[in-house]
Amino acid sequence: MTTPTIVVIEDEKQTRHFLRLSLEAESYHVFDADSGNAGLKAAATRKPDIVILDLGLPDMDGVDAVKQLREWSNVPVIILSARSGETEKIAALDAGADDYLTKPFGAGELLARIRVALRRTISSEQTESGIVSVADLAIDLVHRKITVAGEEVHLTPIEYRLLSVLAKYTGKVLTHRFLLKEVWGPNQVDNAHYLRIYMSQLRHKLEKEPIRPRYILTEAGVGYRLAVE
């Protein structure tokens, strides 16, 4: 695999600066843009492997930028948000973003997210083979067989559907709303308690320590994701 290319869309000069430093230190190709329009153009021309997008852009709403990008590209998008409220992040994730970081964040954290996103592009090819594995957990989507450390685990149909949706989007942050829609259908998106109950059941069946989950991670106030390991 060649050196991955990253487009950074961020209006703050200093932020752009240290992002470039940190990313280049890991030998990524970095192209940056200081506005939404310029960023979208760069994303179109540079064919990046990842787009890092700040939600507080001067010329357009970050959520709109994600929507526009998603019209023609499946490139993983990591959003940066300076607001503590969850609503904006959820909106961006629902619009198609893959992951998010709340400012301020450490470079280590960012690089970890980038690695997850890159791996996700690879694992989506892996999904074709029908098997998703995270450490000891193996999800065979073809045979509908779940094993933890080689031992088969029996899931109810809904538990299985929930896990399969998570597996389909391994590494991506899936919002509560998205999961409810995928598993229970568009009429049940307000019944968040379904998700809480089944998620708890699922963790108790899969995780050794449900309070410290390794496979299905909680994104507080936003949703869940299946870990990539």
Partner 1 sequence: MTDTRPDPDLLLEMVQREQEKALRGKLKIFFGASAGVGKTYAMLSAAHQLRARGLDVVVGIAETHGRAETVALMDGLEVLPRKEVEYRGKRIAEFDLEGALKRHPPLILIDELAHSNVPGSRHPKRWQDVDELLAAGIDVYTTINVQHLETLNDIVGGITGIRVKETVPDKVFDQADEVTLVDLTPDELLLRLKEGKIYLPQQAEGAIGNFFRKGNLIALRELALRRTADRVDDQMRIYRQERSIGTVWRTQDSILVCVGPKPGAEKIIRSASRIASQFGVEWHAVYVETPQLQYQPNSVRERILKSLEFAQELGARTAALAGQQTERVLIDYARSHNLSKIIVGRDQHRSWHFWKRSFADRLGRLSADMDIIQIANIHPGTGIKTESPTQFENAPRSYWKSYLWTATECATVTGIATLLLPYFDLANIVMLFLLAVVFAAVKHGRRAAILAAFLNVILFDFFFVPPRFSFAVSDVQYLLTFAVMLIVALIIGQMTANLTYQVRVANQRETRLRALYEMARDLSSVLLPQQIVDISHRYIETTFKVKVAILLPDTHDTLQPTEAAAGVVPAIDPGIAQWSFDRAEPAGFSTDTLSASSILYLPLRAPMRTRGVLAIEPLHSGWLLIPEQRRQLDGFVALIATTLERVHYIDVAQEALVRIESERLRNSVLSALSHDLRTPLTNLAGLSESLAHSRPELPPLQYELAIAIRDQTFRMSSLVNNLLDMARLQSGNVKLNLQWESLEEVIGSALASCEQQLKNYRVDVRLPDEFPLLQFDTMLIRSVLINLLENAVKYTPPHSHIIIEAHLESNLARISVTDNGPGIAHGSEESIFEKFTRGVRESATPGVGLGLTICRAIADAHKGRIWAENIASGGARFVFTLPLGIPPTLDTEEKE
Q: How far is CA 62 from the centre of its chain?
A: 16
Is the CB of 104 or the CB of 186 nearer to partner 1? Answer: 104
CB of 82 to partner 1, least distance (A): 4
- For partner 1, the binding residues in 18-37 under the rule CB under 8 A are 18-19, 21-22, 25
- Kindly state the smallest distance separating residue 50's Cβ from partner 1, in Å: 17
Using CB under 8 A, pick the residue from 138, 153, 158, 189 that binds partner 1: 158
Nearer to partner 1, 144 or 196 (CB): 196
Decide if residue 45 touches partner 1 (CB under 8 A).
Answer: no
For residues 26 and 113, what is the distance between their CA atoms, to the nearest angstrom?
13
Which tokens go with 54? 């700040």
The three-state DSSP-derived secondary structure of the chain is CCCCEEEEECCCHHHHHHHHHHHHHCCCEEEEECCHHHHHHHHHHHCCCEEEEECECCCCEHHHHHHHHHCCCCCCEEEEECCCCCHHHHHHHHCCCCEEEECCCCHHHHHHHHHHHHHHHHHHHHHHHCEEEECCEEEECCCCEEEECCEEECCCHHHHHHHHHHHHCCCCCEEHHHHHHHHHCHHHCCCHHHHHHHHHHHHHHHCCCCCCCCCEEEECCCEEEECCC
- Does 197 help bind partner 1 (rule: CB under 8 A)? yes
Binding flag, residue 61, partner 1 (CB under 8 A):
no
Site string for partner 1, 90-109 (x = CB under 8 A): -------------xxxxxx-
Determine if 156 is a binding residue for partner 1 (CB under 8 A): yes
Where does this chain touch partner 1 (CB under 8 A) — which range of 29-37, 125-133, 138-146, 205-213?
205-213
Give me the 120-149 binding string for partner 1, x by CB under 8 A, dash otherwise: ------------------------------
Instruction: Find the shortest distance in angstroms from Cβ 39 to partner 1.
Output: 18
Our finding on whether 208 is near partner 1 (CB under 8 A) is no
Q: Tell me the one-letter amino acid at 222.
A: V
CB 94 within 8 A of CB 75: no
Applying CB under 8 A, the residues found at the interface with partner 1 are: 12, 14-15, 17-19, 21-22, 25, 56, 82-86, 103-108, 154, 156-158, 184, 191-194, 196-197, 199-200, 210-213, 217-218, 220-221
